[in-house]
Amino acid sequence: MAAPPAEPLAVDYDTVHVAAADHRDALIDELVHRGSRVVATQDDLVFSADRPGPAAWAANTWLAPALYRVESIGAAAHCLKAIQRNWHAHPVGHHRRARLIAERLPTIRFRPLTFPSAPPSAPLGAWTLLSHDRLLASRHTTSAFADGAPAFVEDREGPPNRAYLKLWEALTLAGIQPGPGERCLDLGAAPGGWSWVLAALGARVLAVDRAALAPAVAANARIETRTGDAFSVRGADVGHIDWVCSDLIAYPERLLELARYWCDALPDANIILTVKCQGPVDADLIARFLAIPGARLRHLHANKHELTFFRLRDGGPSEAAGRM
Ligand SMILES: C[S@@+](CC[C@H](N)C(=O)[O-])C[C@H]1O[C@@H](n2cnc3c(N)ncnc32)[C@H](O)[C@@H]1O
């Protein structure tokens, strides 16, 4: 083990967020709205103080940022190795120097996950060079994946579209999945990527959409289809449900009502719901989703201009934003 690094320099922030792609402004609004002080930004990094913890629009959050003065590439690599083994570089400039530092660190192989499997359990730190002699390193981050981006061994045969990757990612972060003996309600199910995921896990699925599922998905014996308006489905109409999943496209306000309804109607169910955003993101809306007891929100790597809402029986996923 290398000698301990030099003392970190004083900084006026306690958290550094890596903004989800194209969502830095939404992240800043979210942080300000929740009472964090945004101290600085650099590229896709947002430095904040006062309200540490994950943010919905962050791909990853560095929970213990420490700034070191490093005179050389070797000194930077030594500093990182003295803290811990596993690091991911997130360069925001000084790319060549950062690459030379990274080359001196142990190689980490980020193998694509075969779903379902657990995220890596080894802690993964993150670092960057803020200037040629300023190394910012955080041994603790919210995500086990480099920049919060899991990669999966994809299935190009079974699912009818790529939406299944969103549910794979959500269930991987959730750390639990539906299985045999459980029943799922899939709202806005067509053409059937999410229903395909749920059925492949052994669960039975009630798939509701105005549109038809892809024939191969509709033919799955574990999937029952119902054609019609998914917003008018009520708990009394569907029998016992363990999981409610929704990938409905609708105005966020309507999706908020939907989340409130199902969280209230089925207090013991796990709920995963895509929050499609339209135009500039309303930070107050995020707060209203998070006001639902047990709610968590996160921008998944597979998400576009949308967040994923979780209300899980066991509380997770820890990398998602929760009520502050
Ligand atoms: C993004 S797609 C869902 C994709 C699906 N999760 C998959 O994996 O294949 C959104 C779906 O919501 C459905 N939808 C939108 N509004 C609806 C409503 N009021 N009732 C039922 N389905 C609706 C659309 O027909 C569309 O199939």
For the chain, domain boundaries: 15-148, 164-311
Asked whether 186 lines ligand 1 (CB < 6 A), one says: no
pLDDT at 84 over 70: yes
Of 193, 298, 185, nearest in space to 246 by CA? 185
pLDDT at 94 over 80: yes
Q: Does residue 15 contact residue 53 with C-beta atoms inside 8 Å?
A: yes
Asked whether 170 lines ligand 1 (CB < 6 A), one says: no
Checking 210-214 for CB contacts under 8 A at 24+ apart, the result is: 213/160, 213/189, 214/160, 214/190
pLDDT at 1 over 70: no
pLDDT at 21 over 60: yes
pLDDT score of 5: 66
pLDDT score of 284: 94
Mean pLDDT, the chain, integer = 96
When pLDDT is cut at 50, 70 and 90, the band that residue 324 belongs to is confident
Asked whether 230 lines ligand 1 (CB < 6 A), one says: yes
Q: Which residues contact 200 (CB under 8 A, 6 or more apart)?
A: 158
Coil/strand/helix, residue 81 = helix
| Residue 236 tokens, joined | 């009394």
Closest-lying ligand 1 atom to the alpha carbon of residue 194? 8
Q: Does residue 88 contact residue 146 with C-beta atoms inside 8 Å?
A: yes
64 CA → ligand 1 middle, Å: 40
Instruction: Write the class of the CATH domain 15-148.
Output: alpha beta
Asked whether 248 lines ligand 1 (CB < 6 A), one says: yes
Per-position DSSP letters for 261-272, written without gaps between them: HHHHH-TTSEEE
pLDDT score of 3: 63
When pLDDT is cut at 50, 70 and 90, the band that residue 316 belongs to is confident
pLDDT score of 117: 95
Asked whether 254 lines ligand 1 (CB < 6 A), one says: no
Q: Which CATH number fits domain 164-311: 1.10.3210.10, 1.10.260.40, 3.40.50.150, 3.40.50.300?
A: 3.40.50.150
Asked whether 194 lines ligand 1 (CB < 6 A), one says: yes
When pLDDT is cut at 50, 70 and 90, the band that residue 279 belongs to is confident
Angle between helices 283-290 and 24-34 (to 10 degrees): 60
Sign of the torsion angle spanned by Cα atoms 318, 38, 65, 306: positive
Interatomic CA distance for residues 295 and 315, integer angstroms: 8
Q: What are phi and psi of 161, to 5 degrees?
A: -160, -175
Asked whether 189 lines ligand 1 (CB < 6 A), one says: yes
pLDDT at 86 over 90: yes
Arithmetic mean of pLDDT, 131-148: 97
pLDDT score of 122: 87
pLDDT score of 6: 75
Instruction: Report how far apart, in Å, the C-alpha atoms of 173 and of each of 54, 121, 136, 148, 166 are.
Output: 14, 12, 26, 10, 11
186 CA → ligand 1 middle, Å: 9
Asked whether 209 lines ligand 1 (CB < 6 A), one says: yes
pLDDT at 161 over 60: yes
Q: How many Cβ atoms sit within 10 Å of the Cβ of residue 271?
A: 23
Tens digits of per-residue pLDDT, 179-219?
Answer: 999 999 999 999 999 999 999 999 999 999 999 999 999 99
When pLDDT is cut at 50, 70 and 90, the band that residue 309 belongs to is very high
Tens digits of per-residue pLDDT, 33-48?
Answer: 999 999 999 999 999 9
Interatomic CA distance for residues 22 and 80, integer angstroms: 29
When pLDDT is cut at 50, 70 and 90, the band that residue 53 belongs to is very high
pLDDT score of 2: 57
When pLDDT is cut at 50, 70 and 90, the band that residue 4 belongs to is low
pLDDT score of 278: 86
290 CA → ligand 1 middle, Å: 24
Amino acid 209 reads: D
Where do we find the tokens 């045969």?
157
Nearest CA residue ID for atom 22, ligand 1: 209
Coil/strand/helix, residue 273 = strand
pLDDT at 303 over 70: yes
